[in-house]
Amino acid sequence: MRRIGQTAGIGLAFLFSAAAAAAQWIGSGSSDVAMWTGLGFAAAAAPIGWFLGGRYDRLKEWAERDSLTGACCRRFVQTAFPRLVAQADRRRKRFSVLLIDVNDFKTVNDTLGHAKGDDLLRKLAGALMDAAKHGEIVVRWGGDEFLLLCPYGDRSALETMSRTIGERMAQISSQWNRPLSVSIGSAVYPDDGRMLDELVQAADKGMYADKHRRKEAGPQRLNA
């Protein structure tokens, strides 16, 4: 986790310490007195800055993270998306989104209970974050849907990531001793849209096409 708040808190503490030392030097004309004043102020202010900065960092992380899975929350992506677009446009780069939906998740809740359903979501989020080796951002989009923001727009790279996610889900399926799988759709900026809603809608169509294909393929292809 980035310690932005703590870094800023310590920085402000030393800035105020320098200001206090300067004021003392101007008032007394003694550099020794000013130095000891600044050091004393820093000794008192630094722990306070560290503590308050840490509280800010924790609150910021809680605001950005989904409490159940630890993935980024939807609000974080909606806030960060304009910056991602500006960066992509400036560098003339493409990026993409993957929309991931757990197949038959309601059956898990109905047969095993909501606690097991929550456990499955945590395991899937962990698997997605473990697979995010190239700067992908894992987001809990809502319910049993996850979104991956990928800093690349190459279709073959997206297919590779989709296969990796399928393999991780197959491992969870084996651990749970029941057929578990996900359906995945993708969209690329700016090919499939320039707004977040446009990209999600395009990925959603692909995800439902994948879900339909899996239903037609039958149970034996669930983890393919």
Q: Identify the active-site residue in 66, 144, 192, 210.
A: 144
In Å, what is the CA distance from 57 to each residue of 52, 65, 74? 9, 12, 19
Distance CA 38, CA 107 (A): 64
Concatenated DSSP letters of 34-60: HHHHHHHHHHHHHHHHHHHHHHHHHHH
Q: Give the SS3 label for residue 102.
A: strand
End-to-end CA distance of the chain: 35
- Indicate if 204 belongs to the active site: no
In Å, what is the CA distance from 8 to each residue of 5, 55, 126, 160, 204? 5, 12, 30, 40, 40
Radius of gyration of the chain measured on its C-alpha atoms: 24
173 burial via Cβ count (<10 Å: 0-12, 13-18, 19+): middle
Residue 217 parent element (H or E):
helix 196-217
Q: Would you state the torsion angle of the CA atoms of residues 81, 87, 204, 121, taken in this order, to the nearest 10 degrees?
A: -60
Residue 141 parent element (H or E):
strand 137-142
Known catalytic residues are 144
